[in-house]
Amino acid sequence: MSSSSARVARITAGFAAPPAVVLGIIAWVAGGLLAALIVFLVAAAALTWWALMAGDRRVAGVLSALGGRDADPVLDARISNLAEGLSINAGLRQPRLVVVEAAGLNVLAAGTSASKAVVAVTSGLLAELERIELEAVLAEALCQIRRGDTVAPTVSAATFGFGRRVAVAGDRDALADQAAVTLTRYPPALASALEKLEAKGWEVPGQPAYMASLWLADPRPGAPTDVGRLPLGERIEALREL
């Protein structure tokens, strides 16, 4: 089992088991051991299925509530063209692209599979980054999707953040940074983009805590570095050494 699959299993098991046990106990009192076993298995399976299936819809719903819109191939030609080229180079189906109106510089990658993936960028990011910097952060998002790093955080979003502490591997950011610069072959571009995030801010108001780990940097105003995440300063320093 991959580390991503293991984290998903821990999240879904932890989410589904307690209510399934409670329902099983009630069924045991009412109908005996066999009824308890059946109720437990059905409830656990149903809750696990829901957790696995609902994450993509919840992410889409939050982005929609923020006023997110699908990137226009003409109005947003720069990001559309970059995403198309990078997706081909990464061996991925191009994800859905969403633009969120927010002054903070940030990008989100989510999806329980590559076929359901979404990449959202803020209008502030589009306004402030040079083309080569935008390419670098898009590469980061696509590499997270390709590596399966988005699956566990997306499942955690379905459960309103249950299992959030295990959804992100401790080395995710570092490995995603390395994968992104391997794809673009220019580490200074990603370092420069992260420096602009640090200088200009990365907040996206209205983001719930259970969405935080899906963003390049925790989008909540004033929030500390999210669980399992590296501070931007450390990531920039590592990139400058490549």
Q: 85-96, pLDDT tens digit by residue?
A: 999 999 999 999
pLDDT of residue 226: 65
pLDDT of residue 1: 52
C-alpha distances (whole Å) from 11 to each of 7, 40, 91, 117, 166 are 6, 18, 28, 20, 8
SS3 33: helix
CA 242/CA 233 separation, integer angstroms:
15
CA 138/CA 106 separation, integer angstroms:
10
CA 91/CA 169 separation, integer angstroms:
23
How many Cα atoms within 13 Å fall on the side-chain side of residue 183?
Answer: 30
pLDDT of residue 3: 78
pLDDT of residue 242: 81
Contact indicator for 77, 177 with CB cutoff of 8 Å? no
How many Cα atoms within 13 Å fall on the side-chain side of residue 159?
Answer: 26
Listed in sequence order, the DSSP H helices in the chain are 3-31, 33-65, 77-90, 123-128, 131-147, 151-158, 164-167, 172-184, 187-200, 232-240
pLDDT of residue 2: 65
pLDDT along the chain (242 residues), means of 10: 82 92 93 92 94 93 92 94 95 95 96 94 97 97 95 93 86 93 95 96 91 92 71 92 85
pLDDT of residue 85: 96
pLDDT of residue 225: 63
pLDDT of residue 222: 75
pLDDT of residue 141: 97
Q: The tokens of 190 are what? A: 């990603």
pLDDT of residue 90: 93
pLDDT of residue 17: 93
pLDDT tens sequence across 156-174: 999 988 888 888 888 899 9
What global pTM score does this model have? Answer: 0.90
CA 217 to mean position of chain CA atoms: 11
Give the residue among 193, 197, 220, 207 at the shortest CA–CA distance from 139: 193
